[in-house]
Structure 1
Amino acid sequence: MKAELSYLDLINLCDNAHPPVNGGIPPDATGFDAEKLVPLYLTPSLDSAIIGILRPVIVEQLKAENARSNELGLRPLWDIRVEESTYRLLRNGRVGPSVSFSAWCDKPSKRTEAMREVCERWRDTGLFADVCGPTKWRGELYPVYKEPFGVHDHASSVMEGGDESRLNYAFEMERSACALFGVVTYGVHMSIYEEREDEQGNRSLNVWVPTRSRTKQTFPGMLDNTVAGGIPSGMGNFESMVKECMEEASLDAGIVRKYARAVGAISYFFREQMRTSKGWLQPEIEYVYNIAILPEVDPSVFTPRPLDGEVESFEVWGLAGWSFMKQDKVIEELRAGKFKPNCGLVLIDLFIRLGLITAENEAEYMELCTRLHGRFSYEIW
């Protein structure tokens, strides 16, 4: 890793997957870039939504799953069309390989139960242990939607006997296994900061920065945004933020509800190459919140303190005079790659919104702005 990363370098560390699907692999591609990925459809029908993206090793494992089901006299879970003679008409008008749930697995509850059985069995047998093995298992369900940029609804919102087919919600699955199926996941990130201005008009910024626990399953010991976490299935974005604020940082729910502000979202397509060399695919959307500490409010009510063991410590770091000088610790640590990759993107987004990164002081300003809001090449999956 470079001694000092540019802001675009930091985005490239996180938004580092731009995979071709169903062809289009550059002739000089090597390693992961040369893999032919297969779209994961929700159903075998021609108008089915695409819900994920599969690497060859997963496609082969799903073939083995079907063979196992046949041996046990069970209905195969997967409709697999990856041989040229079985290719399907894709939604972009081309013909190519595909995988979907079998036609019998046609409701959110059925898909949820099927995925629960598969993921738990993979955990217990040690298959893909680097992702969803016993030490990586989260015991938390994440939602999967037909349209990843659509509404976050849930089966619990449907009256008993109601029509679940109208929902965008497709099913839910174990959090740690999501990257195996390339499904989009969702989270919340918040920065707590204070702006100051002295008598000479010099402006400065203080930001609360946590260090992640050394025992966390993911990115142990790295720096983070003030509060961050995944959105559990069935819970709204803001309620997830309130929950994480209490669990991670001991912040009172009433304070968070009063002062936290939704300020947008970032999105990126991450290929895991830091913790493991396996290259699993994880497109993610993070809803972004701020708490700006107001001068008329007692700042102690915004002071985060570790609670659930996921954070080792919190420190407040400053940016002096709106400058990005090396002595500004948050910038120094950011450019040294010490922050969890997606947290670096959230900080860059914050600096753009506060006017610290501008078109006048950053040559790659427009590249930064647009790369923070990717669509994962979803249209060509």
Structure 2
Amino acid sequence: MATNSRDSDLGFLDLVNACDNFRLPANHRADIPLSSSTQDTLVPWTLTQSLDSPVVGLLKPEIIDLLREEEDGSWVIPDPASVPRTAYRVSFHPSIDTPAKRTKVMRKLCEGWRDSGTIYQDIIGPKKWRNEMYPVYRNPFGVHRAHDPKAGDDDSDDSNYAFEMERSACVLFGVVTYGVHMTIYQQTNGNEIQIWVPTRSRTKQTWPGYLDNSVAGGIPSGMSAFDSIVKEAAEEASIDEDITRRLAKCAGSISYYLQTSAGWLQPGVQYVYDMKIPDDIDPMLFQPKPADGEVESFDLLPLHVVISKMKQGLFKANCALVLIDFLIRHGYLTPENDPNFMEIVTRLHGRFHYDRW
């Protein structure tokens, strides 16, 4: 867990910078690497080699080197000398032309890397494997509805959904991931806001021991954002499904471009929800309780304490952004009390330079 005790050292813009910390170089499409010796450049990952094929991720050279070693013919990796640098891309083989086929290729690839015992075991090894499929979309800001075989969907390739892949492996391919975050809060008779804040389990695969949003989680393939928040509220916080469906309100979204300390890209979109505990109902009926082992405890904290802990760097990075968004929407962070207001607002809704992928 973070141990930074420098109360108020971090401003809200500092918290944004810690999560939205990556920018594509202006000429990155003209700077395609020829080998893994150029570690700071990125290669577009597309569905096909067609110039109008959507880019679904950005690959580091070391991933391309590993894909070259695959012998099943599922990948097209052109000779850099034979393709103009501005058109260079890595793609699936033309025969891998439906969501189901792409999903099958990605499952085999990622499970092979997991079971290798040597390839990125700190990311997708057995101890890091999530066994949860995430959707990959052609346009991260398009319709988010993944293929659901249980609903009788056919394997059409006409929608925004392109395929799905193991959650833990997404960071290796620079794809956009999607999640849901909800703030459960109440107001006292003196109109003070109090927020339920969980402490993440110290055995969590990511950010162990950090503070989190009241309820949060990824959106599994085939599930809507709202159904995901209902599921997470029940699984993480023991909140009855009926309560969440009745009181959770969509309050927008945030998007940010995170680069890890190891250089991996994690662009993220988080759907944001509020749940205000009604004034005329016993607030303890809404008290979240740890359920699935991912949360160590929940504490009901006054807003000023939440802000203090944010500024000490005690929150998971994207959870701090969700809380900043909450402060803006509820009038606690304004142009009058923070000179970086406009920078903060716009940075909470980035587009990942998607038009330049």
- Tell me the equivalent position of 1:121: 112
- Tell me the equivalent position of 1:298: 282
Aligned pairs for 1:1-381 within 5 A: 3=6, 4-20=9-25, 21-23=28-30, 35-65=40-70, 69=71, 74=72, 76-81=73-78, 83-87=80-84, 95-126=86-117, 127-156=119-148, 162=154, 164-198=156-190, 203-273=191-261, 278-319=262-303, 328-381=304-357
Q: Tell me whether 181-190 or 78-87 shows the greater mean CA deviation.
A: 78-87
Counterpart CA distance in 2 for 1:36 and 1:272 is 15
1:158–1:164 Cα contact (<8 Å) kept: no
- Tell me the equivalent position of 2:35: none
1:194–1:294 Cα contact (<8 Å) kept: yes
Distance 1:63 1:209, change over 3 A: same
Q: Tell me whether 331-340 or 304-313 shows the greater mean CA deviation.
A: 331-340
Deviations 1:24-52 (A, max 9, x none): 79xxxxxxx97110111111222211101
Q: Tell me whether 348-357 or 145-154 shows the greater mean CA deviation.
A: 145-154
In angstroms, what is the RMSD of aligned CA positions?
2.1
Residue 166 of structure 1 deviates from its aligned partner by 1.3
Deviations 1:32-89 (A, max 9, x none): x971101111112222111011111111111122xxx1xxxx4x1111136132237x
Counterpart CA distance in 1 for 2:234 and 2:163 is 28
Residue 6 of structure 1 deviates from its aligned partner by 0.7
1:155–1:167 Cα contact (<8 Å) kept: no
Counterpart CA distance in 2 for 1:373 and 1:47 is 26
Counterpart CA distance in 2 for 1:367 and 1:168 is 31
Deviations 1:137-164 (A, max 9, x none): 0000000111111112233379869560
Q: Letter of the 1:122 partner, please give it.
A: W
Distance 1:143 1:162, change over 3 A: closer
Counterpart CA distance in 2 for 1:379 and 1:82 is 25
Residue 346 of structure 1 deviates from its aligned partner by 0.2
1:23–1:36 Cα contact (<8 Å) kept: no
Q: Letter of the 1:342 partner, please give it.
A: N
Distance 1:130 1:258, change over 3 A: same
Listed as ranges, the gaps of 5+ residues in structure 1 are 26-32, 89-94, 320-327
Partner SS, residue 29 of structure 2: coil
Partner SS, residue 305 of structure 1: coil
Distance 1:130 1:361, change over 3 A: same
Return the TM-score normalized by structure 2. Answer: 0.92
Q: Tell me whether 164-173 or 176-185 shows the greater mean CA deviation.
A: 164-173
Counterpart CA distance in 2 for 1:60 and 1:2 is 43
1:272–1:282 Cα contact (<8 Å) kept: yes
Distance 1:231 1:159, change over 3 A: closer
Residue 131 of structure 1 deviates from its aligned partner by 1.0
Deviations 1:200-242 (A, max 9, x none): xxx4210100000001111110000000000000001000000
1:182–1:283 Cα contact (<8 Å) kept: yes
Distance 1:316 1:2, change over 3 A: closer
Return the TM-score normalized by structure 1. Answer: 0.86
Listed as ranges, the gaps of 5+ residues in structure 2 are 33-37
Deviations 1:9-37 (A, max 9, x none): 10111111113232479xxxxxxx97110
Deviations 1:318-367 (A, max 9, x none): 03xxxxxxxx3211210111100000000000000000000111100001
Q: Count the aligned residue pairs.
A: 345
1:188–1:231 Cα contact (<8 Å) kept: yes
Q: Tell me whether 112-121 or 290-299 shows the greater mean CA deviation.
A: 290-299
2:180–2:218 Cα contact (<8 Å) kept: yes
Counterpart CA distance in 2 for 1:35 and 1:47 is 25
2:259–2:265 Cα contact (<8 Å) kept: yes
Counterpart CA distance in 1 for 2:149 and 2:166 is 21
Partner SS, residue 164 of structure 1: coil
Partner SS, residue 232 of structure 2: helix
Deviations 1:105-160 (A, max 9, x none): 11111111110000001001130112111111000000011111111223337986
